[in-house]
Amino acid sequence: MSSNSKGICFWPPWSATPLESAMEFYLTEEGKLGLKAIPPVLADILRQIPVCGDRETEEVESRLFPFPTIDPDEEDLREDWKAFVQPDLHLLFQSSRQTVEADLRGLREEGDAYELEFPFKHADAWLNALNQARLALAAEYNFGEQELSSLGPMEITNERDFALLQIELYADLQHWLIEAIDEEPPEEDEDDLSTE
């Protein structure tokens, strides 16, 4: 099934041992990226990627679409940015979330865990959507730099702790995707090239 795989141990920091089977990232010979041995709780967190980045609060909007300057003398630049740049960013971000949402429909149950494969060419959309989700969660829950650079909550007692766990998983996925992109991409089938 896989031509190149890398197992990772992702488990909540309060757990003394990793989940029974480490979630594994892999590249298929058909030119797809995949994850297998995904525990149900992490599958649920994956399904939330498109939703997290689509929050329309003031905090999230200002984090995802910051103005290029706060200089009071540059109001014209901020207005141009809002009129000409932000609409294209909104479309790009929406398109990335839609691609990930469509890929996540392929999440399938395999025994006690889940498995997911998606085209290599969707890696950029995944990176974009994961980044949106991380930034949106950090803004919504007002996480500081120290919290974001720590190992995560020692226990999940509220939504804020759960959001920090999500951010940690999304960061691990981004790391894997960047490594996959940096490697030579596998040959893709012609059928994969024609489908979105």
pLDDT in tens, 3-40: 555 544 444 443 444 444 478 888 888 889 999 999 99
Number of Cβ within 10 Å of residue 54's Cβ equals 17
Map out the domains of the chain as residue ranges. 2-194
Spatial CA neighbour of 8 closest among 28, 40, 34: 34
The token duo for 77 is 């630049």
- Angle, CA 145 vertex, CA 142 and CA 148 arms, to 5°: 80
pLDDT digit string, tens, across residues 132-179: 999 999 999 998 887 888 766 677 889 998 999 899 899 989 999 998
Report how far residue 102's alpha carbon sits from residue 49's, in angstroms, rounded to the nearest whole number.
12
Report how far residue 190's alpha carbon sits from residue 196's, in angstroms, rounded to the nearest whole number.
12
pTM attached to this predicted model: 0.81
**Range 37-42 contact pairs with CB under 8 angstroms and sequence separation of 24 or more:** 37/113, 37/115, 38/107, 38/113, 38/114, 38/115, 38/116, 39/112, 39/113, 39/114, 40/112, 40/113, 40/114, 42/10, 42/169
